[in-house]
Structure 1
């Protein structure tokens, strides 16, 4: 896949013999993480659930006329750069969701696509397709949002639901890069329009001896760091554009304080 990463002062690629690339304009870009804290749900006696605030991004983009019989897509591409997700079970051990290649430094990022419409994050509000030739410029809006809604077992993940609750804390720290991109569907050439970095952090303390509904409390990161729009676009790593995506590549590992680690849930590919 060809990616020309030469950037003009407007954040667009140069292309010899055409003004198409340099005439794409980002008219407006808004990004934020909601100010509400993470919500904890103890309604189940099997799992603790929580829902983090949403990361949001929306852009209004002006695309010049497409003079040839070409198809261009404008939309969002996202990659996960870091994933630290640990669930502590007192003196028994730790379970963790891990991306092995990212964890071991073999790749710098992994696709956070929906798993179907690579390389795009999604296929509804997240992207807009223009079929040429067109006579006029097009002004379009693309938007996306992302948050975490996991379930964490009260008991160690290799046991049964009849085992007493042992979950004592949850620690999570993930980093993402999100690109606003225009792509020629035939040639796969890309125009990098904007780059956003954002992070989601979480710390929950749990007292498993307390009654259900009174065990967990949010300890830190009541408000998240706000996203950063980079002044200079960051190149898209190759792994951010292709399979597997983060959801399919992640594994759940149980690391007991005594004994060998166990892969509880393997990757889906």
Structure 2
């Protein structure tokens, strides 16, 4: 006697029943995803800028140093089983969209760190990679790689942080004199940070989340005062918190390739009277 196959509805019911554990609770009901694009899930995303104000260090008689609060981002990711033999890297890519960084020296003029192509509008953004692991911001906590095929869910966290800790000379940077003349520091930089998955073989890129953030500061300096009492933070005491965009933005081409911002920046001296002078040329 030949037995007929159970109808599809019965198989579905049986599959659901098998998802119950001994306590009678459903473990999971998941349809097989069509592709990696459909399957990757951002379980949790947290981003913030620390609430502490920028700190100022006057320990050196040559330079003023300051340290800004940290921007931080971390995401918990779930990747269901990957059927294909493919490798995906998930992590953070960051680019600078805008930079103003001016150090004023009384009536002498000002020095400024500049990104010429960004300043002149030739590019929308410039990579803020570590300069080694393009296009990634870094490759320690910042990225994770999934190599298929896999039989189980992959769960992991990718995190990054960023802040500024520069040195600014007390004296005019094009002078041999170290006489303190620094009177003001102003900085205003904007960044876009993307949580991204990239297929290592095909370079297919999936933007999972987009974050915008900004760091501003104004330090007033009285060069006539003794070392240790010259500088004061005027604004802001607390930074604006990052914004997670409801709609992801595409990544501009220059955000993923050389040069990165550190290698492309140039230090200019712009005197009140006279022509600008390149103090430190770009590395790239």
Counterpart of 1:149 (choices 165, 174, 179) is 165
Matching of residue 211 in structure 1 with residue 226 in structure 2? yes
For 1:65 and 1:88, locate their aligned partners in 2 and report how far apart those are by CA, in whole Å. 57
Q: Which has the larger radius of gyration?
A: 2
Aligned to 2:275: 260
Counterpart of 1:49 (choices 49, 58, 65) is 65
For 1:18 and 1:105, locate their aligned partners in 2 and report how far apart those are by CA, in whole Å. 41
Matching of residue 81 in structure 1 with residue 97 in structure 2? yes
For 1:46 and 1:105, locate their aligned partners in 2 and report how far apart those are by CA, in whole Å. 34
For 1:255 and 1:176, locate their aligned partners in 2 and report how far apart those are by CA, in whole Å. 26
Counterpart of 1:220 (choices 235, 238, 242) is 235
Alignment gaps of 5+ in structure 1:
1-16
Matching of residue 94 in structure 1 with residue 120 in structure 2? no
Aligned to 1:59: 75
Matching of residue 176 in structure 1 with residue 199 in structure 2? no
Secondary structure of the corresponding residue to residue 227 of structure 2: coil
What is the CA deviation profile of residues 91-138 of structure 1, one whole-angstrom value per residue up to 9, with x for unaligned ones? Answer: 000100000000000000000000000000001000001111111121
Matching of residue 29 in structure 1 with residue 9 in structure 2? no
Please give the root-mean-square deviation of Cα atoms over the aligned residues, in Å. Answer: 0.9
For 1:131 and 1:24, locate their aligned partners in 2 and report how far apart those are by CA, in whole Å. 14
Aligned to 2:180: 165
For 1:31 and 1:129, locate their aligned partners in 2 and report how far apart those are by CA, in whole Å. 22
- Runs of 4+ in structure 1 off by over 6 angstroms are none
Alignment gaps of 5+ in structure 2:
1-32
Q: What TM-score do you get using the length of structure 2 for normalisation? A: 0.87
Counterpart of 2:208 (choices 182, 193, 198) is 193
Q: What TM-score do you get using the length of structure 1 for normalisation? A: 0.92
For 1:63 and 1:120, locate their aligned partners in 2 and report how far apart those are by CA, in whole Å. 20
For 1:134 and 1:19, locate their aligned partners in 2 and report how far apart those are by CA, in whole Å. 13
What is the CA deviation profile of residues 2-48 of structure 1, one whole-angstrom value per residue up to 9, with x for unaligned ones? Answer: xxxxxxxxxxxxxxx93320111100000000000000000000000
Secondary structure of the corresponding residue to residue 38 of structure 2: helix
Aligned to 2:136: 120
For 1:157 and 1:186, locate their aligned partners in 2 and report how far apart those are by CA, in whole Å. 47
Q: Give the length in aligned residue pairs.
A: 252
For 2:272 and 2:178, locate their aligned partners in 1 and report how far apart those are by CA, in whole Å. 18
Secondary structure of the corresponding residue to residue 191 of structure 1: strand
Checking the alignment, whether the CA contact within 8 Å between 2:127 and 2:135 is kept in structure 1 is yes
Flag the structure with more relative contact order, 1 or 2, with Cα contacts below 8 A and sequence separation at least 6: 1
